[in-house]
Amino acid sequence: MSSPQNLFSLTGRTALVTGGAGPLGSVLADALAAQGADVIISDISEQACQEVAAGLHDRHGVAARGISSNLLEPDGTLKLVEAIDGPLDILVNNAAFTGTSGVPGYAVPFEEQTDEAFELASSLNLRAPFSLARQLAPKLAASAGASIINVSSIYGIVAPNMGLYEGTRMGNPAAYGATKGGIVQLTRYLSTVLAPRIRVNAFAPGGIARGQDSAFTERYEKLTPLGRMATEDDFRGVVAWLASDASRYVTGQTIAVDGGWSAW
């Protein structure tokens, strides 16, 4: 157990971040490495994984490596689990299709959304986190500070305001909210069946500014108490907190990090 002076220290712990080479995943991995964690980066591109891992080592002096994995393949999660040959203390289930992932039949008007896109998103956004948690539970349970952190969304907590998208090329897939809501309930479930050895929590990001249509951004900011969209850096604190002993009596929770969006 950490002393009050180093509650946030992750030195001596190893974290796996799925989707770790992406815009959010790479920042979450950096936040963990900044607290001393060794980090395993999992993503589709081998080159991107290695580049992110090398950056973590250079900036923070931690051990970091990349593992190329496609979690949509039938044995994708198994291959990733088998590639982790050492201890594991932290699992961050971040890999997911978002509203801008470009999947056909996904982020389009409701009447154009397809069953195939819904199933594809369900496989990556919900099945993969379940599968990794199930397969990695024995390894995590051997840790003195095991923590699973799932990435949900405000749209796993509240329904979308479709007026935000009027007159834009953007869309809000039903599969996204359904799977992110599933993550909230999966988090509760896992927190009970994996207790007391493994804590399981989630955080729900608000909209992240990534060059969206200006009309969307203006509407979104007006409906957000803090008056702006998020940046990836806004999630550094919550992932470090949930991974560390600073949150050692917290499990089964989904923390909204949304600038107050879900308060209204």
What total number of domains does the chain contain?
A: 1
Residue 56 lies inside a defined structural domain of this protein? yes
Q: What is the pTM of this model?
A: 0.96
C-alpha 45/C-alpha 108 separation (Å) is 27
User: In the prediction, which pLDDT does 3 show?
Assistant: 60
Is it the case that residue 194 has pLDDT exceeding 70? yes
Q: What is the pLDDT of residue 102?
A: 82
Residue 189 lies in a domain: yes
Instruction: Let me know if residue 57 belongs to a domain.
Output: yes
- What value does the mean pLDDT take over residues 79-103? 93
Long-range contacts of 45-48 (CB under 8 A, 24+ apart): 45/21, 48/21
Mean pLDDT computed over 151-170 = 94
Q: What is the pLDDT of residues 173-191, one digit of tens each?
A: 999 999 999 999 999 999 9
Q: Give the integer Cα–Cα distance in Å for 146 and 143.
A: 5
| 19 belongs to a structural domain | yes
By the 8 A CB rule, do 204 and 255 touch? yes
Q: How many CA atoms lie less than 13 Å away from 216 in the CB half-sphere?
A: 19
Token pair 């891992």 is found at 53
Domain of residue 208, CATH code = 3.40.50.720
| Residues 97 and 178: beta-carbon distance below 8 Å | no
Evaluate whether residue 254 is within a structural domain: yes
* Chain segment 235-252, per-residue pLDDT in tens: 999 999 999 999 999 999
Question: Domain range spanning residue 32?
Answer: 4-259
Distance CA 68, CA 144 (A): 28
The answer to whether position 264 is within a domain reads no
Residue 191 located in a structural domain:
yes
CB of 91 within 8 A of CB of 140?
Answer: yes
Q: What is the DSSP letter of 209?
A: P
When the pLDDT of each residue in the chain is averaged and rounded to a whole number, the result is: 96
C-beta atoms surrounding 222 within 10 Å: 9
In eight-state DSSP terms, residue 162 is G
> Is 217 part of a structural domain of the chain?
yes
Q: Which residues are catalytic?
A: 176
Question: Distances in Å between the alpha carbon of 101 and those of 78, 131, 215?
Answer: 24, 22, 20
Three-class SS state of 93: strand
pLDDT value for 191: 98
- What six digits make up the tokens of 220? 């979104």
Q: Which residue has the higher pLDDT, 239 or 4?
A: 239
Residue 169: pLDDT band (50, 70, 90) is confident
